[in-house]
């Protein structure tokens, strides 16, 4: 399992530079930290948040993958120049965002609705010599998994650095059924440089994927790393997070977020992050909702756990 490349999934509003650095310092195990998307505009003026997030100083010592959201190939090319100027080694295009506000403009997974448009988009992009390798993060269709062979066939025509596959359609959002076999088939057909994404929550989930599909080179993990930030380290044979490490994780994030955004935002971010370790636990969720300090939040999540962070 140790040769497996691990990407920390981009999660807008959660995985900012502070979280990336604190994660690396306490837990490590991740090869590439993915940046939430930059929503490109005609003028290519990024927001203050986007500009800071991609600033090399914000990402010092980390390997990161910036991401763009656009359906305009000229905007993408201009953004790739900007990313190359910051000396990043690869850049990603979002073909997966299922939010209706994004897809109704034909962006994110909205681009998957029209295979003809996808072809002309990437024909235009790859007619140019790219200043930095391009990757894509896609879903397996918009409405129906039956769309996947056509989408995969299109993506396989172009020299992407890698293709991350979230094994759901846009309609399936984040929690409905998923289709791991769509990934396995693509790997078996010899499509190179695929990254598996979707619900890898435990070391057993990853072992199961590798048993089914031993050729898997890389995985991307989002919510699994929020629920258990030591997951990538465990894949490398390292230990599970101790209660002390988890407490340090939350309190360091709180202090850094408070320095940057103030107390209210910092507490809101901590509570959003703690939605995952408290998933499915009504008692923890209730305590978390009522907590009005970082100590209260940590007590809600870790109270009743033994020194290894497991329920006592």
Ligand X SMILES: Cc1cc2nc3c(=O)[nH]c(=O)nc-3n(C[C@H](O)[C@H](O)[C@H](O)COP(=O)(O)O)c2cc1C
The binding site for ligand X (CB under 6 A) comprises 9-14, 36-37, 67, 94, 96, 137, 166, 174, 197-200, 221-224
* CB nearer to ligand X: pick between 109 and 247: 109
Distance CA 117, CA 206 (A): 35
Contact 169, 203 (CB under 8 A): no
Q: Least distance to ligand X from the beta carbon of 36, Å?
A: 3
Instruction: Indicate the residue among 23 and 166 with the shorter CB distance to ligand X.
Output: 166
Please give the Cα distance from 169 to 198 (Å, whole number): 11
Strand locations in the chain (E)? 5-8, 32-39, 64-69, 91-95, 134-139, 163-166, 194-197, 218-221
Closer CB to ligand X, 12 or 217, in the complex: 12
CB nearer to ligand X: give 212 or 272.
272
**Least gap, CB of 292 to ligand X (angstroms):** 23
The minimum distance between CB 18 and ligand X, in angstroms, equals 16
Please identify the residue of the shown chain whose CB is closest to the bound ligand X.
Answer: 222
Contacts of 184 (CB under 8 A, 6+ apart): 212, 213
Nearer to ligand X, 16 or 147 (CB): 16
Angle between helical axes of 263-273 and 243-261 (0-180°, round to 10): 140
For ligand X, give the closer residue by CB, 14 or 299: 14
CA-closest candidate to residue 202, choices 224, 221, 176: 224
For residue 188, the minimal CB distance to ligand X (Å) is: 22
State the nearest-atom distance from the C-beta of 304 to ligand X, in Å: 26
Q: How far is the CB of 226 from ligand X (least distance, A)?
A: 8
- C-alpha–C-alpha distance, residues 276 and 270, integer Å: 11
Cα 79–Cα 80–Cα 85 angle in degrees, nearest 5: 95
Query: Which residue's CB is nearer to ligand X, number 67 or number 216?
Result: 67
Contact assessment for residue 63 and residue 31, using Cβ atoms and an 8 Å cutoff? yes
Does residue 166 contact residue 148 with C-beta atoms inside 8 Å?
no
Distance of closest approach, residue 137 Cβ to ligand X, in angstroms: 5
Q: Is the dihedral of CA 179, 184, 187, 188 positive or negative?
A: negative
Q: Please answer whether residues 163 and 193 qualify as being in contact, where contact means their C-beta atoms are separated by less than 8 angstroms.
A: yes
Least distance from ligand X to the Cβ atom of residue 69, Å: 8
Closer Cβ to ligand X, 9 or 266, answer by number: 9
């Amino acid at each position: 399992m140790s040769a497996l490349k691990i990407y920390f999934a981009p999660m807008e509003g959660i995985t900012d530079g502070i979280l990336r650095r604190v994660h690396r310092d306490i837990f490590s195990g991740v090869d590439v930290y993915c940046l939430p998307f930059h929503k490109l505009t005609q003028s290519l003026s990024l927001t203050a948040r986007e500009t800071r997030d991609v600033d090399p100083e914000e990402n010092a010592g980390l390997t990161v993958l910036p991401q763009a959201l656009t359906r305009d190939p000229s905007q993408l090319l201009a953004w790739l120049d900007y990313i190359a100027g910051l000396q990043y080694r690869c850049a990603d295009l979002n073909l997966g965002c299922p939010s209706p506000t994004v897809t109704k403009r034909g962006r994110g997974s909205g681009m998957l609705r029209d295979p003809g448009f996808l072809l002309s988009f990437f024909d235009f992009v790859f007619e140019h010599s790219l200043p930095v390798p391009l990757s894509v993060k896609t879903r397996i269709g918009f409405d129906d998994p039956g769309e996947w062979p056509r989408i995969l066939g299109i993506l396989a025509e172009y020299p992407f650095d890698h293709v991350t596959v979230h094994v759901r359609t846009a309609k399936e959002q984040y929690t409905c059924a998923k289709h791991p076999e769509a990934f396995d088939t693509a790997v078996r057909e010899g499509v190179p440089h695929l990254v598996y994404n979707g619900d890898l929550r435990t070391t057993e989930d990853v072992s199961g994927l590798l048993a089914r599909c031993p050729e898997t080179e890389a995985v991307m993990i989002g919510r699994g790393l929020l629920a258990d930030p030591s997951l990538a380290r465990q894949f490398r044979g390292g230990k599970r997070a101790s209660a002390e490490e988890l407490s340090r994780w939350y309190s360091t994030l709180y202090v850094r977020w408070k320095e940057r955004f103030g107390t209210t935002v910092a507490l809101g971010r901590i509570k959003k992050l703690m939605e995952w370790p408290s998933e499915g636990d009504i008692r923890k969720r209730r305590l978390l909702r009522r907590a009005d300090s970082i100590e209260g939040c940590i007590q809600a999540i870790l109270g009743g756990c033994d020194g290894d962070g497991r329920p006592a």
